[in-house]
Structure 1
Amino acid sequence: MNPIMPGRQTASIEGPFVVFIIGVRINKWLAIRQWFPVLQAMGPMLKELYENRELGFLDGASFISGRGVSIVQYWRSYDQLEHYAHGAKHLSAWQNFNRKSRAGEAVGIYHETYLVENGAYESIYVNMPATGLGRAGELRPIGAGRETSRERTNLGHDHEMKHAQDSLK
């Protein structure tokens, strides 16, 4: 378990990275034979990712909702994420899901992929252990130049000036 970092921290990660969110939604609780294997498939893939960081996986966190599970993952690059998606373990799980999902609508899955290439991201953690992007990258204390969300996104004064100039046109 990660120790609590006192005070205000922000995440820092060098270079571009990818945020990938994947989730499973149980639509029909009684159709256990259709949705349980989908949930079971995630464990071995996550184990593989944590044991083989050279694949480009930086970190992840799982969240349980009323109808399923979502996982937020951080990757070094889109190419590495895509390469993993076409690898044996993931491809087998995906093919298995497709076979089972044709039998009905008992389980659904989704994913979202966000490419962060220009360094415009921000985060804040107050009295929290390293979490999310702060665990994938590193935590740094919030101080001068990182007080506001705009400063942490690197949009700062230049962006404000451009927005003001554009609104005068």
Structure 2
Amino acid sequence: MPAPAPRVTHAYDGDLVLFLIGVRLHQPWRLGVVGRVLAAMPRMIAELERNRQQAERGEAEDLGFLGARYLLDGGHPTVLQYWRSTEQLYRYAAAPGLEHRPAWKAFYGYAASAPRAVTIWHETYAVPAGGLESIYAGAADFGLASLDGTVRVARRGERARERLAG
């Protein structure tokens, strides 16, 4: 019998902002609105990923974006994003030369033609250092583990309560 997969936890250390953003599609036949809404997020994530890679090489200012995951909630797209700080998240959202602000302004323009077609929503969770807990048994390239790798569970504690307190 093969040995069980080692238990690991995330290696990321520090404050973290979990930003959830999604769209609820109420009138999917409104292609002019729905299509534009669905096209905007991949452009923003691509921009943020490019910046993250450039910042790692010292070629750009770090915007604070750590990574993202796309999810479906009952057929409605949601993006889970990881950031270093709320200040960096808000700075990105307000920056006129980056993708978010123009996309948000454009949304108000074309959404007025079909105000019930979609709902855009977001939630922001600021988690202080030490307020994170995770465990992975098996392939761990998901969630916090996808940001900065993993360490053995014993480094942070064998039990969830120990890892969260540490």
Structure 2 regions of 5+ residues with no counterpart? 53-61
1:27 and 1:67 in contact (8 A); partners too? no
Distance (whole Å) between structure 2 residues aligned to residue 145 and residue 17 of structure 1: 17
Residues 1:58 and 1:144: Cα distance change in structure 2 (over 3 Å): closer
Distance (whole Å) between structure 2 residues aligned to residue 73 and residue 112 of structure 1: 10
- 1:33 is aligned to 2:32: yes
Equivalent residue for 2:163?
Answer: 152
Structure 1 regions of 5+ residues with no counterpart? 1-5, 156-169
- 1:97 is aligned to 2:96: no
Instruction: Note the C-alpha offset of 1:25.
Output: 1.2
Residues 1:10 and 1:145: Cα distance change in structure 2 (over 3 Å): closer
Give a deviation string over 1:16-39, Cα, whole Å, max 9, x none: 121111111111121121111001
Instruction: Note the C-alpha offset of 1:98.
Output: 1.7
2:22 and 2:121 in contact (8 A); partners too? yes
Equivalent residue for 2:59?
Answer: none
- The structure number with the bigger radius of gyration is 1
Give a deviation string over 1:27-52, Cα, whole Å, max 9, x none: 11211211110010111111110010
Distance (whole Å) between structure 2 residues aligned to residue 32 and residue 8 of structure 1: 46
- 1:55 is aligned to 2:67: no
TM (norm. structure 1) is 0.82
The structure 1 segments of at least 4 consecutive aligned residues displaced by more than 3 Å after TM superposition are none
- 1:23 is aligned to 2:31: no
In the alignment of these two chains, the number of paired residues is: 150
Q: 1:119 aligns with which of 117, 130, 133?
A: 130
3-state SS, counterpart of residue 130 of structure 2: coil
TM (norm. structure 2) is 0.83
Equivalent residue for 1:159?
Answer: none
1:8 and 1:125 in contact (8 A); partners too? yes
Distance (whole Å) between structure 2 residues aligned to residue 116 and residue 25 of structure 1: 26
- 1:82 is aligned to 2:83: no
Equivalent residue for 2:119?
Answer: 108
Structure number with the higher strand fraction is 1
